[in-house]
A = this chain, B = another copy of it.
Amino acid sequence: MPGGHEQTLRPFLWRAETLYEDTEVVSRTHDGIERYTYDEYSDRTAQLAGALTEAGIEEGDRVATFCWNHHRHFETYFAVPTIGAQLHTINPLLPDEHIRFIVQNAEDRTIFVDHSLFGKLAGALADADDEFDSVDRLVTMGEGVPEGAADLPIDVVAYEAFIDGHPTEYNWPDVDEDQPAGMCYTSGTTGMPKGVEYTHKMLWSHTMATLTPQGIPMADDDVVMPVVPMFHVNAWGMPFTATAGGAKHVYPGPSPEPEDIASLIEEEGVTVTAGVPTVWMGLQDYMEDNEVDLSTLDTVIVGGSAAPEAMIRWFDDHDVELLHAWGMTEMSPIGSVSHLKSDLEDADYETQLDRRAKQGLTVPGIEFKVVDDDGNEVPHDGDAFGELHVRGPWVTKEYFQRPEANEEDFEDGWLQTGDIVTVDTDGYLQIVDRAKDVIKSGGEWISSVELENAIMAHEDVAEATVIGVPHEKWQERPVAFVVPGAEADESTLDREVLDMLREDYPKWWLPDDVVYIDEVPKTATGKFSKKDLRDEYADQSLGGEVPEEAAPSESDD
| Interface residues, chain A, with chain B CB atoms under 8 Å away | 1-7, 11-12, 14-15, 18-20, 22, 174, 178, 180, 196-199, 201-202, 204-205, 207-209, 211-214, 217-221, 244-246, 339, 341-343, 345, 361-362, 364-367, 380, 391-398, 400, 413, 426-427
Contacts and interface: CB of A to CB of B under 8 A. Distances in A.
Given A221-B342, A361-B19, A199 B1 contact: yes
Given A205-B208, A217-B217, 16 more contacts: A1-B178, A2-B198, A2-B199, A2-B202, A3-B396, A4-B395, A5-B393, A5-B395, A15-B366, A15-B367, A19-B361, A211-B212, A211-B364, A214-B246, A221-B345, A244-B365
Contact of A12 (B204, B364, B413): B364
Contact of A208 (B199, B365, B426): B365
Given A393-B4, A395-B5, A217 B208 contact: no
A5 B364 contact: no
Contacts of A362: 15, 19
Given A4-B202, A364-B211, A397-B4, A392 B11 contact: yes
A365 B2 contact: no
For A4, A197, A201, A367, the residue with the greatest tally of chain B CB atoms inside 10 Å of its CB is A4
Contacts of A343: 22, 220
B217 A364 contact: no
A2 to B, nearest CB: 4
B392 A2 contact: no
Contacts of A398: 2-3
A3 B397 contact: yes
Contacts of A393: 4-7, 204
A425 to B, nearest CB: 9
Contacts of A199: 1-4
Contacts of A7: 205, 365, 393
B2 A391 contact: no
Given A4-B202, A5-B395, A397-B3, A217 B213 contact: yes
B221 A217 contact: no
Contacts of A391: 5
A197 B4 contact: no
A378 to B, nearest CB: 13
Given A221-B342, A342-B219, A342-B220, A364 B208 contact: yes
Given A213-B217, A217-B213, A14 B367 contact: yes
A213 B211 contact: yes
A422 B1 CA distance: 32
Contacts of A342: 219-221
Contact of A392 (B4, B207, B397): B4
A362 B220 CA distance: 13
A85 to B, nearest CB: 16
A197 B2 contact: yes
A361 B392 CA distance: 29
Contacts of A208: 205, 208-209, 211-212, 364-365
A93 to B, nearest CB: 24
Q: Which of A5, A6, A395, A396 has the largest number of chain B CB atoms within 10 A?
A: A5
Contacts of A204: 365, 393
Contact of A2 (B196, B214, B217, B427): B196
A182 to B, nearest CB: 10
A197 B1 CA distance: 9
Given A393-B4, A396-B4, A213 B202 contact: no
A221 B245 CA distance: 22
A1 B202 CA distance: 11
Contact of A396 (B2, B197, B427): B2
B212 A4 contact: no
A230 to B, nearest CB: 20
Contact of A365 (B11, B22, B198, B218): B11
Contacts of A205: 4, 7, 208
Contacts of A212: 208, 211-212, 217, 244-245
21 contacts: A2-B396, A4-B396, A5-B392, A5-B397, A7-B205, A7-B393, A11-B364, A11-B365, A12-B364, A14-B367, A15-B362, A18-B427, A19-B361, A19-B362, A22-B343, A208-B365, A213-B213, A213-B218, A213-B219, A214-B219, A245-B364
Given A208-B209, A364-B12, A364-B208, A214 B4 contact: no
A325 B447 CA distance: 51
Which 3 pairs, one residue from A and one from B, show the smallest C-beta to C-beta distance?
A3-B397, A221-B342, A19-B427
Contacts of A345: 221
A5 B213 contact: no
A365 B207 CA distance: 10
A213 B218 CA distance: 7
B2 A413 contact: no
Contacts of A198: 2
